[in-house]
Amino acid sequence: MKTRTDDIDSNPQVLQIPKSIQDDIMDKWFHLYKWISPDEVKLSIERDFLHTISKIGIPLAVISVLAWLISGLNIFIFFVTIALWVLLMFLYLFYLSIRRSSLLSKSAFVVMTDSSISLGWKVHKLSDISWLESDISQVSKTFEEDLFWESKLSGSKKTLTKAIMDQLFGWYGMILKGFSGSRSRDSEKAILLIIALYTLYAAIMACVYFVWVLFLWVLWTLITWINKKYLIKKGHDVIKINELFATLDRSSEDIYGEKQNLELVLTQAYNNNWKDGLLLEINQWINHINSKTQDAIESVIELKDTIEKSRYNDMFSFPVYNAWIKKQIWKPLEQILALLEKNLSILIQTSKEIEIQISQTERIEYKSGLELQLQRIEIQKREIEKFIPELQASLEKLK
């Protein structure tokens, strides 16, 4: 349900809300905007990891080499120095993960109505959003994503990755270019020494980078899994409400489709003397409609009950909801009821006409054909007469 690039209407009292979201709210009162996802939490930590690497890369290499030289080229000291840095980075990133997960809990779902907004599981009036400013600013800055707009995290990650690759391998050309005019033996030794030290630095940073990419993949996978589980539990009500609205949208489309199919086969049956194959097809579509109607009614009742028991009850406008239900479910069912009543009337009239024809004909073969046709019509009359009260009862439940 995200809307990122729609034209945005300005509301000076509250927020700049995309027109598609405003239309959704006007249509059914409710809109769920999924702002920050667990995957974006992971991406933000990746960005900060790359930023940290870009800043500490040179100091880490210098300190590791110095410790190695001071220790008398003790390779153990060299790796211990790197390990200490890695441990500090682990603690820092673990701390970031906790902070970002906490921030995710109050920015994952934004629930909008025509008069209220829920952010961080708290409901407030749109007429006073002063309390929102600091929260929105914090989330926008941390995840580089303004409310209702696209995230810039991927671009930042791409830029930092390029900077690190340039830092690791981009100075070889500069070193060679700096000594390009010198041909002395001392300068050649200096070049080799600098290249050797730089290669050692690049190797250190490459090891740290690639080892940490693997480690962080494990860490991020765990954190993402925990965050998703937490949001499902914490946001159970709003997720369920949104899913039920989506279910009713699909039910409405299905019922409209079933109505068109039923209308088609009823017309075919009328034009073809209600043949057996068409009778079975009509009954099949009636059963489909009945099944989808019952599912829709259950969803309507469940949705209303879920909202009434949720923290969003005070945000809810039942008149808007009832108007939406009438448009989505009531209207197509009412049209189906009118269609069946019309065809029942046609069947009754046709049955009377056939009975008159049977009474007036003396040809046995013609009378047998009429009696078979009458039998089929009577069967269909009973099916429709049975379904009409069920459909009327369903409409009563939606009132």
- Domains of the chain in start order, with CATH, are 8-167+203-234 (no CATH), 237-397 (1.20.58.70)
Q: What is the pLDDT of residues 41-87, one digit of tens each?
A: 888 888 888 887 777 766 776 777 677 777 776 767 767 777 777 77
Q: How many CA atoms lie within 13 A of 161 on its CB side?
A: 11
Please state, rounded to an integer, the average pLDDT across all residues of the chain. Answer: 76
Q: What is the pLDDT of residues 264-276, one digit of tens each?
A: 877 777 766 666 5
- E-only strand ranges, the chain: 8-9, 17-18, 31-34, 109-112, 116-119, 122-125
pLDDT at 1: 42
Which uninterrupted H or E stretch holds 95? helix 75-105
Tell the burial category of 67 from Cβ atoms under 10 Å away from its Cβ (0-12, 13-18, 19+): middle
- Asked whether residue 323 carries a pLDDT value surpassing 50, the answer given is yes
- Percent of the residues in the chain that have a pLDDT greater than 90, as a whole number: 0
- Asked whether residue 379 carries a pLDDT value surpassing 50, the answer given is yes
At 8, is the pLDDT very low, low, confident or very high (cuts 50, 70, 90)? very low
Q: What is the pLDDT of residues 147-172, one digit of tens each?
A: 888 888 888 888 888 877 776 666 66
